[in-house]
Amino acid sequence: MKKMLIFFIMVILVGLGQIRFLDDYFRLGQELEMHINVVNDKPYDVDDVRVKVDILGLTQLTSHNFDVDDNSNYGFFFHWIIPYNSKKGEYLVRITASNDDFKDIKYRYITIV
């Protein structure tokens, strides 16, 4: 049975908030599961939000467009199997949350061993 590793990302619509990884190291062939929680702390709805996760040099994952009601949140998962032919090492992860009126980006690193 494959072990699944999860990292959590919280996105605040005025900027990207807390980003947490469950583990510091990830192995080739494992399923990497990413939980994204988008929080709208504004007193108005936000439409057509999209989240992109770029693991630079490996893959780009993109969510569907979604709306977040005022003072509410929206959570979802990304799933990705780390290919066995990936090179081991550190990879920069770029997380972008945006719509037509707003865009914010944060960076983190993951290590594949």
Nearest to 110 by CA among 29, 38, 30, 56: 56
The residue type of 61 is L
pLDDT score of 9 more than 80:
no
Give the bridge partners for 8, in sequence order.
Answer: 20, 35
Q: Answer for the pair 9, 95: CB distance below 8 angstroms, yes or no.
A: yes
- β-pair type (25-26, 103-112): parallel
* Domains located in the chain, CATH noted: 4-112 (2.60.40.10)
How does pLDDT run across 32-71, given as a tens digit for each residue?
877 777 888 888 888 999 999 999 999 999 999 999 888 8
Q: What does the mean pLDDT of the chain come to?
A: 82
